[in-house]
Amino acid sequence: METELATWHFVVAGFAFALFGVLAHVGRAVFNVFPDKLSDTPAVNVLVSSDYSWGDYLWGVEFDDAGYYRLDSLRNLRLYVISCVAGGLTAMVFMEGVGIGIASLIDAGMAGFVDLFWQRIDELNT
């Protein structure tokens, strides 16, 4: 079965990329052992900290008083979700083969769920 790239593939992929952004946000906040922001000077933070970057400074990522990435910040969540969705959809549009590959994964996943649904229905009837 040959897969064609359709609009609904972009919608489903956008939701998947948004979910990936949420998981990345939670992962950075929860699994961060050392504080990202060590001082009030961004140059010192970039040079000394392994997780703090100029992007954090330019985009205005929020940290708590101890210098850790804030899990409860909607701004941080929004930044991760928007960047993941924009990056993923841009890759689907402009990189050769990525869009068709993701569409194939979506089609295979949907076919698997439909087959599983009908298998469960058959098991209930027997």
How confident is the model at residue 20, as a pLDDT?
Answer: 97
Question: pLDDT, tens digit, for every residue of 61-97?
Answer: 999 988 899 999 999 999 999 999 999 999 999 999 9
How confident is the model at residue 2, as a pLDDT?
Answer: 55
How confident is the model at residue 57, as a pLDDT?
Answer: 84
What distances in angstroms separate CA 45 from CA 6, 10, 33, 48, 58, one per listed residue?
Answer: 44, 37, 16, 5, 13
Going by pLDDT thresholds of 50, 70 and 90, the confidence category of residue 3 is low
37: how many CB neighbours lie within 10 A of its CB? 24
Looking at per-residue confidence, does 36 or 117 come out higher? 117
Q: Are 69 and 29 in contact (CB under 8 A)?
A: yes
CA-CA-CA-CA torsion for 46, 52, 58, 64, nearest 10 degrees? -120
Q: Is the pLDDT of residue 1 over 50?
A: no
